[in-house]
Structure 1
Amino acid sequence: MLVLWCRAGVLRCMASVPLWLSSASLEERAGNVAKARALLEQARLRNPKKDTLWLAAVRTEQRAGNEKAAEAVLAKALQDCPTSGLLLSESIRMAPRPAQKAKSTDALKKNASDPYVLATIAELFWRNRKVDNARMWFK
């Protein structure tokens, strides 16, 4: 029943990003990953340059176990929204551990003042047990 309401809502208000995200989430929880992908694709076509839609698509692929597809979607997302802190942060998290430092410097060059990027870099320091550096980045 909720799926039908979300579909009706999406048809009436195509600019509502939270409605698209909810609809895709409901489809994914119902086991329709392909339908969730299609909904997110339609949402990105109707609402270009929305980083939250790209991030939802990346995480949908990750939850489905498609790491290669998630990396491909993230690469397209970063081409579409190159300064998005959400996407830059996700690219740092998804990178293999040796490449995370390089990804974080690239992210700082693209958007040095974004809170998502700064928090992700602080989290990297914290995971590497550099607590003093992490505290500095969290401030």
Structure 2
Amino acid sequence: PIPAVLVENARDAAPAPVSESGDGGVWAAVRWTAPDGTRHTGRAEVPADGEKGDKVTVHTDANGRLVSAPPEGAEAGFQIAMAGITVAFVTSGMVLLVGWIARARLRLRRLDLWEAEWRQVEPTWRRRMTG
């Protein structure tokens, strides 16, 4: 988060169709200074009652570009829970896959050993059956 200044009155800006934070904010022009000292302008979600010249907080990435605010509260908890569930499913799926591959390879090895042993036994077995 970095400080920014409203370039226009928020009430003159068009309301956002669906506010990210759900607090009835609007998208208005703001001006901010990036970490490297360059000045930027862009549109960010700001409180609907903001006046031109008011200080607001915006969020930027490492390059100084505007990004949405990180999730907070219940939304953050939900995202954390979903990430945990996803990791659990992927991990268990990988364990099952590795187990299936290992079992298949062991089965093939067992069949190869059985085939090699049968090649040794089969000639004597055949003699006994035909003789």
Same fold (TM over 0.5): no
TM-score range, shorter chain: under 0.3
TM-score (norm 1): 0.25
- Indicate the structure with greater helix content: 1
Between 1 and 2, higher relative CO (CA 8 Å, sep ≥ 6) is seen in 2
- Indicate the structure with greater strand content: 2
Q: Which has the greater radius of gyration? A: 2
